[in-house]
Amino acid sequence: MKSTSARSRTLAATLRRRERLSPARRAELDRRTVARLSRPLAIVYTDTADFTVRVAAHGMLHFLMVFERALRMLRPLLARHGGRLVKVEADSLLLVFPDVPRACRAVAAMSSALSRLNRGRPPHERTVFSFGIGTGEVLDLGRDVFGLEVNLASKLGEDVARPGEVLLTEAAVAALPPSLRGRIVPHATITFTGRPQKVARLRPSRVA
């Protein structure tokens, strides 16, 4: 696979070239570019419970201290599950994994690890995530990823899931093996890109 900088340069050059092309020729350029830069990945988007409330009550530096403490502990765990931290967005993490089973097992391990880290600490020093999981072909630029399933995982993690919940897109559920599908519970139907999207919840596990 190309390096992160090479992929970013390829995309930048393609976008400049695309501006000069007719609509008919853009379609072929898009097809070739997507084939070069995209690959199937499982996406996990996390959101931190009570971010705004805690910043208002204790300040941004206090929140960042607590968040960084959790991130230090989670980095090696992600690596063990084949995951990659793409970027940190305020109080959220954008993560990618080779497949949905590994993403689900990593999320279970993350939740267990955070529970251990939180033990004995006051509420304002605890870290609790909600999770959204999607999967599909995404443009992978190394420091960022783009695609509809990225957007949907973000929506689930930030706007739909409650603290501690793990919500999956239809595509993510379809990619689960029987061993994990037994932990799936129907959750809700949301509208995304103008169509109904069934969302499922992953029941908690003791996997670590």
pLDDT tens digits, one per residue of 90-118: 899 999 999 999 999 999 999 999 999 99
* Cα separation, 31 vs 51, whole angstroms: 40
46 touches 130 (CB < 8 A): yes
Residue 208 has pLDDT above 70, yes or no: no
Residue 31 has pLDDT above 50, yes or no: yes
- Site of tokens 């793409």: 86
Helix, strand and coil percent figures for the chain, each rounded to 5: 50, 25, 25
Model pTM score: 0.89
pLDDT tens digits, one per residue of 128-141: 999 999 999 999 98
Domains of the chain are 38-202 (3.30.70.1230)
Q: What is the mean pLDDT of the chain?
A: 91
pLDDT band at 204 (very low <50, low <70, confident <90, very high): confident
Residue 207 has pLDDT above 90, yes or no: no
- The predicted model gives 119-130 an average pLDDT of 93
pLDDT computed for residue 54 by the predictor: 85
